[in-house]
Amino acid sequence: MLQASSIPGIPVLLWRGISLDNRSLLPGSCLPKCLAHTLKPKCSLPWLICALVNLLALNTNSQTVLTVPKQVSLSANSSVRELTISWFGGSASTFDLIILRTEFNTTVFYDTISATVNQASGRHEWKWTSAEPLECTSLSVRIRSRDGHATSEWSETDTLPGRDLPSINTLQIYPQGGVVEVGSNMTLCCIVEEGKVFKDMIYGSTVVTSTRLSRRSYATTVVNVKASGISGSNVVCRLKDLSLTGAVMFIGYPPLPSDFVCETQDLISTVCHWKEARDSHLNGGSRKTRYSVNSRKCDVDGFPLTCRLPLWDGNWTLMAVNNLGHYSLSDSAELSHRVRPVAPVSLSSIVRAWNATLMWEWINESYFTLDLNCQVEFTNDQSKPRNFSGVGLRSVMLSGLYPDEAYTVRVRCGAQKYFWKWGDWSQTLSFKTKPDVSDAPDAWMWMNKDNTGLVVWKPLAHHQSHGHITGYEITLWNPEDVEQHTQILPPNTYSVRVNLREMASVGADKKVFATVIVKTIKGASPPSRVPLQFIDEEPPALLKSVFTNSRISLFWQHNISNTCNYLVEWLDASCEHDCPVKWIRLAAGSTNVSIESENFHPGVRYNFSLYSCPSDSPQLIKRWQGYTQELVPSRSVPLSVKSQDADVVITWGEIPLSDRRGFLLGYNVYISNGSELTLLANLSSGGMRRHIVKGLSAGTYKFTVKAYTSAGEDTGSTASITLEPFTDALILEMLGVLGIITVLLVIVTFICYKKRKWVKKAFYPDIPEPKLPGDWSRPQGPLDVRPSPQSMVHIVDKPARDFNKETLVVIPEEEEYFEKDEPVDTDEPMSLRYYNQVVDDRPIRPRFPDSSASSASSLDSAHTDVTYTGIQTSGSSLVFQPDPQESSEERPPEVVHYDGGYKPQMHSKVLSDDVGLKPSNPFHEPQAASSVGYKPQCAWHLDSPTDDADTGSLAPSLGSPTSVASTQFLLPDGDEDENNKQQLSSAAATWFSNLLLSSKP
């Protein structure tokens, strides 16, 4: 019943007490917005019709009431993690289902489902598979009916309890012993004890990330799991207190059988075989794969996988099942097409020398009429099995056997018409053939250069001797003579010595033959003839053999006219007498051979020889040498060194052939530089074994010589040599130098003698003697030294001035103060003043130019006692030691020591101010040196202050004339070092002075 309530401004339509507003409009309603918000009286008629249609539809829906699902029931299948949900009621075809983790109220599943109705119980059922094991935590389920957008109320909550309930206070892990397919994701959970703290979970050896499901439950998921081993994969849950629990998970594959086939052996029953294409990795207990054929269970305990059925069905189906799935295969065939005979039984034989008859029996009589193809195999021989065929075959003839040979055989058969497979092998049967006469031995010879040698033959194999060998008979004979030399040798002998020179029956053609016969219990073998020949010519040149693929390969050109067979022999190249030779025979027309022998050894040189017609008249065609493998030499060269002047000659000998172990390519010569070797020369093996090292200086040298092959160098030989200085050449050089020096001295002496006047004038000029006016011949005593115009020294002889030589220099006198009544002549020219030497035993008081007291005492009222010092050696000096604490007047006079003689060529030294003696000349020393006047042959000098300090003397030497007013020396002495130097050359100076003095007129 439609009613309208007139609320001012908001008219609302009511239908049976249900308010209609814009939220309850049906989908697709054509109710205009004017009705959705406010019903305006001016709405048009079409809009009113639309509103009435919607109201009718709403009335129809309100009549369908959705019932709430009731009696919700939960049942779990923990092995497959499947939860079955069932309920009553609910007329709708779809339902909303929500699954929650109970404790944390976390939604696990929420969706609209379609449920089926169980006709027997009338309940709706739906199954859900959980990602986690159902034991991990409690799950709550609620359901409501849905019909389009209409839903019912939610049903009551039903809960599936988990193992994390407070009442279960143990450490647990789930699942226990589960089976998971390879490549899938595996979820496990750990439930900790109440009050304990969870730490982590470990899968295999890896700590995995965990998620908390409830207060005590933790879960982890391992993705894309790998196949486990035989004992499975371990999962461990650990707590903080180090307690733990674990489970074993088996990860594998569903079964996958292949090659399923069925056959018969007795023509009645069926035997089926198959194999697994892959390992399921599910071992033991209920996890292993179970098989059945045509619904008949098969007990399979090992391999091959076999199942037996009592009858032939013609069609078969194999079913394989395990915890991860199942797989089936089918096969079908006719009986005659799948026959695989059983093994023959009761084998026996009838044995002869060269053949034997083999017999056997069949268990099933049905084989007597069956076409069979049988195969006999010799298990102690490498020959191929022999095939025989026939109906009901039970015996065969084995031909081509060797006498006195043991054989072991076995037999198997198969269907001949519709061959399917070979049957099983029978038990083996052993027998031995009868003995017979031996084959002829393979004999050859080796001749030495002295016409002695060996006749050798190869040991016979057992299948060649045809029985037990009792001995050998060797006969030497000549075709032109009936005389023979026969020897009987024991069975373990394979060579005999021969001497052709001792045979009187040797003819002019020098042909001798040796015959070798093998004797057994059945008789003598056919003879083997070997021609013996004298060695009277040199063999052909040696060539290098080719070694490839563990074989020695030899090649030659075939002579068309040669129809004989060939023989190739080889032996150790280092052997020279009675060599153990080996050989191989080749057919006529052969041009190459590859020899492989266990007797070849690395590093051993072998000689290979090719003979034609070896049985009649062997002709040596070609020879080779070669190694199967070259090595470095095992012995070094014998080395010796010797000196030759400044050169070193290095020589060495050959390495023995047995120690070369390869073709020598050359030698390397080294010199040792400490721990390193420096290559001096590389010499080929064909060159001289000698090397000269030139231009070495004196010293010790080490030389090393190494021989080398293609495999490398040997260890080398080392020799040392010490080069002494070349004494003879050194003496000659010294004598030559001395001769040249002597000649030069003679020439210089001769020139100096010829030019002695010039030399004397240049190096030793005459010293002018001073001449003073007045009478100087009065006796010794005090002189009146008052100045006068006649007291000047005049130089009588003034030679031409040579500026290149040292001369006397005018030394200005020190200003003196005389008495006032005697004026000083200032107009007299500057000249040297000399004073007569007063020889007196009285000590001389030294003069101190800088002391006024000294000057006064020396003048003594213009009457001063002045001595004229004579020319003396450099050793004379006025020695005194002034006392710095006393005045000059308080010092006692010192004794003056005089040494006679005048020595020019003295070098000057500048007087140090430290001595305390200052010259009266106001000019500096360089200016005085450049002034005009007399100067000896070299500059004079005072004694060095240093020297004076060393000797304790502060006074200079007074060995030359001195000025009245100055203690400056005119002719000073040289210091003691100069005297020492002059004394060292006194002998030469005396000789030279005598030479120059001889030039005086």
pLDDT at 643: 87
Tokens of 787: 């100045």
State yes or no: pLDDT of 847 exceeds 70.
no
State yes or no: pLDDT of 675 exceeds 50.
yes
Asked whether residue 930 is domain-assigned, the answer is: no
pLDDT, average across residues 393-408: 92
Weakest mean pLDDT among 218-227, 549-558, 837-846: 837-846
Give backbone dihedrals phi and psi of 172, rounded to 5 degrees, phi first: -135, 155
pLDDT, average across residues 166-174: 91
Provide CB contacts within 8 A for 446, sequence distance 6+. Answer: 453, 454, 456, 571, 578, 579, 581
Handedness of CA 297, 302, 303, 308 (dihedral sign): negative
Asked whether residue 269 is domain-assigned, the answer is: yes
Question: How many CB atoms sit inside 10 A of residue 988's CB?
Answer: 9
Asked whether residue 739 is domain-assigned, the answer is: no
pLDDT band at 779 (very low <50, low <70, confident <90, very high): low
Q: What is the mean pLDDT of the chain?
A: 75
CATH of residue 549's domain is 2.60.40.10
**What is residue 991's three-state secondary structure?**
helix
pLDDT at 786: 57
891 within 8 A of 955, measured Cβ to Cβ: no
Give backbone dihedrals phi and psi of 195, rounded to 5 degrees, phi first: 85, -5
Q: Quick one: 416 and 456 in the same domain?
A: no
450 vs 527, more confident: 527
State yes or no: pLDDT of 795 exceeds 70.
no
- The amino acid at residue 949 is A
Number of C-alpha atoms within 13 angstroms, CB side, residue 180?
30
pLDDT at 450: 83
State yes or no: pLDDT of 645 exceeds 80.
no
pLDDT at 510: 66
Domain extent for 678: 639-723
Residue with tokens 């006749």: 455
pLDDT at 783: 54
65 within 8 A of 151, measured Cβ to Cβ: no
Tokens of 874: 């450099």
Highest mean pLDDT among 280-289, 389-398, 797-806, 847-856: 389-398
Number of C-alpha atoms within 13 angstroms, CB side, residue 742?
6
Q: CA-CA distance, 836 to 771, in Å (whole number)?
A: 11
| pLDDT tens readout for residues 451-469 | 889 999 999 988 889 989 9
Asked whether residue 148 is domain-assigned, the answer is: yes
Q: Quick one: 620 and 669 in the same domain?
A: no
Asked whether residue 802 is domain-assigned, the answer is: no
Provide CB contacts within 8 A for 181, sequence distance 6+. Answer: 251, 252, 253, 254, 324
Provide CB contacts within 8 A for 823, sequence distance 6+. Answer: none
Q: Quick one: 461 and 512 in the same domain?
A: yes
Q: Quick one: 83 and 205 in the same domain?
A: yes
Q: Quick one: 294 and 425 in the same domain?
A: no
pLDDT at 154: 92
Give backbone dihedrals phi and psi of 231, rounded to 5 degrees, phi first: -95, 10
Tokens of 504: 């009187």
Q: Quick one: 533 and 662 in the same domain?
A: no
Tokens of 211: 């998620």
Q: Quick one: 422 and 448 in the same domain?
A: no
Q: Which residue among 181, 206, 223 closes a domain?
A: 223
The β-bridge relationship of strands 712-713 and 699-709 is antiparallel
Q: CA-CA distance, 69 to 720, in Å (whole number)?
A: 115
Q: Quick one: 450 and 517 in the same domain?
A: yes
Q: Quick one: 485 and 623 in the same domain?
A: yes
Q: Quick one: 490 and 413 in the same domain?
A: no
pLDDT above 70 covers a percentage of the chain that reads: 68
pLDDT, average across residues 45-64: 60
| pLDDT tens readout for residues 558-594 | 888 888 899 999 999 888 888 989 999 999 989 999 8
143 within 8 A of 108, measured Cβ to Cβ: no
The alpha-helical segments, DSSP class H, found in 606-656 are none
In sequence order, what DSSP letters do the residues of 667-701 get, joined into one string?
EEEEEEETTEEEEEEEEETTS-SEEEE-SPPSEEE
| Angle formed by the axes of helices 756-763 and 986-997, nearest 10° | 120
Q: CA-CA distance, 927 to 931, in Å (whole number)?
A: 6
The β-bridge relationship of strands 179-181 and 244-252 is parallel
Asked whether residue 228 is domain-assigned, the answer is: no
- The amino acid at residue 841 is D
Asked whether residue 103 is domain-assigned, the answer is: yes
Question: How many CB atoms sit inside 10 A of residue 620's CB?
Answer: 15
In sequence order, what DSSP letters do the residues of 103-151 get, joined into one string?
TTTEEEEEEEEE-EE-TTT--EEEEEE-SS-TTSS-EEEEEEEEETTEE
185 vs 974, more confident: 185
Weakest mean pLDDT among 187-191, 325-329, 397-401, 917-921: 917-921
Q: Quick one: 567 and 623 in the same domain?
A: yes
Q: CA-CA distance, 824 to 501, in Å (whole number)?
A: 145
Asked whether residue 406 is domain-assigned, the answer is: yes
| Angle formed by the axes of helices 727-754 and 756-763, nearest 10° | 90
Q: Quick one: 325 and 385 in the same domain?
A: no
| pLDDT tens readout for residues 595-607 | 887 778 899 999 9
State yes or no: pLDDT of 915 exceeds 70.
no
End-to-end CA distance of the chain, in Å?
Answer: 187
pLDDT, average across residues 302-313: 86
**What is residue 599's three-state secondary structure?**
coil
469 within 8 A of 435, measured Cβ to Cβ: no
Q: Which residue among 302, 337, 372 closes a domain?
A: 337
> Where are any strands of DSSP class E within 463-511?
469-477, 484-489, 495-499
Highest mean pLDDT among 22-26, 495-499, 869-873: 495-499
Provide CB contacts within 8 A for 757, sequence distance 6+. Answer: 999
Q: Which residue among 293, 319, 337 closes a domain?
A: 337
pLDDT at 435: 92
For 341, 377, 810, 966, the CA distances from 265, given in Å and listed in that order, are 5, 21, 157, 158
- The amino acid at residue 12 is V
Sheet holding 305-309, edge to edge: 257-263, 270-276, 305-309
395 within 8 A of 323, measured Cβ to Cβ: no
pLDDT at 58: 52
The model's pTM: 0.47
* Count of structural domains within the chain: 5
| pLDDT tens readout for residues 696-735 | 888 888 999 999 999 999 999 999 988 877 666 678 888 9
